[in-house]
Structure 1
């Protein structure tokens, strides 16, 4: 048994930090994958050239935040402590072992006061451009979904507040379709200045700590204040776009904003894959009208237990009627303000119906079946769902967008945000996804270069020793 008689702790040595960082270290791969001097051009306008004391290098600030997101460190304070003791972190920043690290408050102030959401967006776009230039992006098929992030707010500190309802993007177009349909059926069109039928205000629970967050409750999740990150990725799991909203905003409401941004940046998108929350008449119509294909799952209709199944009510396009399970017609009545055609039965026919208790549940004795004016687009989406393209693309959701969310929460600490306010949380989420994209880009580049070097060494060995190879 060997014993170390003396602990060499207070010793001065001449050390080359570059030799202490392994050649395949993640930070070494990232440092060689992109040119970080590009950040100077992005933030140059945010700095005054002559006044004030010398600032901290913006590349260093960005790299410190990048280390925090890459390794899932909870706070900037802890990030600075880890950098002070980690040789690889210091090497990545270009700092010596004795050089003092910038204070965490300096980093926090810059990313809160100086670097605007536009600057963070430029950094996010720059990394995506590097991945696209390397040939790793495959945006022909994209995947859209949302995940919630717990806000830094106590659920007990809340108030009830009335807020105005947001106008739908397609409100005017839907109104024109409704009026045209009513006119075709001999009905009077709705007035243009008439209300849409939805309330002008709605009562919501608002946090007094972080008013821009929203109450989130879904399935087995515990009710909490949260934010939602509406995300788009490609089949290689590169995050192409993200939009952060309050946790009580439905996925389909934010779809138009996310869809416009990602299609403008990547017009070559052909298939939009999403879950059942996005299967609405407007979303299907917009995707089809743009010449693209929606890949959406089966959405179970909401029907009363014990009643006839929804598919037993068949639409007859020729006569514009609905046939009930007893083969009785339901005639067109009106088109309501929400865009649904109402088909109603005759009460005298329903009185003698043998399955009346499974169909009619109101006092008037009339059955009403609704059909949206854009129902044809939903039926086209159903045809895509049964096609080989629909089955193949939707099966990739678990390997793409769901994997992105799982990695972001388990490996990159995105379950809970320490920031408050929509702008700060948006910057935090966008930087986190930028770090994930950069890590994937660096690892793929390193793997490609390693394979190339191995092939080159094998080729040179064959040239020099052809007999030995045989």
Structure 2
């Protein structure tokens, strides 16, 4: 017989949220690692001692974590989901009758006390410290990389770089424009490159017009991750323009900040060839004493069948190259009355063969068929490049190359699972806020997965 469900009328119900949320729910596991007391302390000076009580900042932080950890991109929808979802209510400590704040409260606090107190950076570092205490950060090796995230900007509402006027009235400009003008001298944005952008978005001028994905160009920011290669914990994150110079500069900022904040200094850094310039390798080797597990960015390899620079032997004790025919290439073939540095504007030294040697050399067609003599440029930091080349031949390099893929997996998780393919917020501060919250959510999810039963924290409670 077909059943028929009837609604039973009861005056009282014995209902506990805890009974209806699975014990292994990811938010239960996250809450076991979450400590917001220090966040409250950081925000306290930014609240008045008088007046009507505000929305609890603990509630707002928990709701933001729910949004970014569960891939809920809209704050309007987030408020609806927290209102309806029992697991979200339990995590946010709302109970059955707790009132969910209006979505506009997030915007007001974001542009006010959240940014003034830098509380989102504080929250992120609190979670990193938790990862450290749980033994998820080894500190021996780090990996760094950047990924492009589309900005909330439309090509149809942009102007060419030549038309853009950075000296516009800042008082009349929008918030995103004011933020752009404020970072014109910042190495992660305006000062990263002297080249003017091809297009500038009126709504978000700090976003970079880029075609790096080899498809349709778009406005984007770059999120830069510095991760520990043991478990892929994100130890630092930085927002920059979507250009290589800014991304390389961000890697240095993150390495220095991680050491200052947590006392972590890796013995090696793994990255792709975008970070393999001579200048960056010299900074790692000479200034920071970090082994670069990075492919050298090298344009000296020839593909036309003639000798490349690697075919010439470098003799550091005699400051010269030796060609395949056994002849020497030196900087100067005579003594000048006024000593010359021999350094070009590009920061290189030029080593030249003798004209009389090259003229009669039987290998000239394989060496310099279109030039009188062969010249070899050597960067001032070529010794650091040689260090990176030597490391690239070791088994340790092969292992770090495989472990570096963890940062790519984090970017895939960011875009596919957390659904951050496009930013909601505009301006450098908006990008920074979103990247910090997303990285915080990823670290919390990793804690929930790898340390589901922490020993030093009480169990989840409403």
Greater shift, 339-348 or 126-135, is seen at 339-348
Match of 1:111 in 2: 110
Greater shift, 429-438 or 262-271, is seen at 262-271
Pick the aligned partner of 1:271 from 256, 268, 273. 268
Pick the aligned partner of 2:353 from 345, 356, 360. 345
CA contact (8 A) 1:159 1:208 kept: no
- Secondary structure, in 3 states, of the residue corresponding to 1:69? helix
Shift of 1:365: 2.9
CA distance in 1, matches of 2:222, 2:101: 32
- 1:344-375 superposed Cα distances (whole Å, 9 cap, x missing partner): 2344554555554554375x634321001221
Shift of 1:3: 3.2
Superposed CA RMSD in Å reads 3.0
Q: For the structure 1 residues 219 and 143, does the alpha-carbon distance in structure 2 shift closer, same or farther, using more than 3 Å as the test?
A: same
- Secondary structure, in 3 states, of the residue corresponding to 1:332? coil
Determine if the alignment matches structure 1 residue 131 to structure 2 residue 131: yes
Greater shift, 322-331 or 235-244, is seen at 322-331
Q: For the structure 1 residues 319 and 438, does the alpha-carbon distance in structure 2 shift closer, same or farther, using more than 3 Å as the test?
A: same
CA distance in 1, matches of 2:130, 2:108: 28
Match of 1:371 in 2: 378
- Secondary structure, in 3 states, of the residue corresponding to 1:60? helix
Match of 2:412 in 1: 406
Pick the aligned partner of 2:256 from 250, 256, 260. 260
Greater shift, 65-74 or 126-135, is seen at 126-135
Q: For the structure 1 residues 245 and 352, does the alpha-carbon distance in structure 2 shift closer, same or farther, using more than 3 Å as the test?
A: same
Shift of 1:77: 1.0
CA contact (8 A) 1:229 1:243 kept: yes
- 1:311-353 superposed Cα distances (whole Å, 9 cap, x missing partner): 2132233443333344443331532122210122344554555
CA contact (8 A) 2:206 2:428 kept: yes
Stretches of 4+ aligned residues off by more than 6 angstroms: 8-12, 162-169
Q: Which runs of 5+ in 2 are unaligned?
A: 167-182, 333-341, 456-462
- 1:273-325 superposed Cα distances (whole Å, 9 cap, x missing partner): 11111112232222223333221235453545313333213223344333334
Match of 1:382 in 2: 389
- Secondary structure, in 3 states, of the residue corresponding to 2:161? strand
CA distance in 2, matches of 1:209, 1:373: 43
| TM-score, structure 1 as length reference | 0.80
Determine if the alignment matches structure 1 residue 248 to structure 2 residue 248: no
Q: For the structure 1 residues 2 and 130, does the alpha-carbon distance in structure 2 shift closer, same or farther, using more than 3 Å as the test?
A: same
- 1:5-51 superposed Cα distances (whole Å, 9 cap, x missing partner): 54679997442112111111111122222333332212111111103
CA contact (8 A) 1:139 1:266 kept: no
Q: For the structure 1 residues 39 and 2, does the alpha-carbon distance in structure 2 shift closer, same or farther, using more than 3 Å as the test?
A: farther
Q: For the structure 1 residues 423 and 10, does the alpha-carbon distance in structure 2 shift closer, same or farther, using more than 3 Å as the test?
A: farther
Q: Which runs of 5+ in 1 are unaligned?
A: 170-199, 450-470
CA distance in 1, matches of 2:184, 2:451: 48
> What pairs with 1:144-293 in structure 2 (closer than 5 Å)?
144-156=144-156, 157-161=158-162, 201-205=194-198, 206-234=200-228, 235-250=230-245, 251-264=247-260, 265-289=262-286, 290-293=288-291
CA distance in 1, matches of 2:186, 2:309: 31
Match of 2:4 in 1: 4
> What pairs with 1:64-143 in structure 2 (closer than 5 Å)?
64-116=63-115, 118-143=118-143
Q: For the structure 1 residues 210 and 12, does the alpha-carbon distance in structure 2 shift closer, same or farther, using more than 3 Å as the test?
A: farther
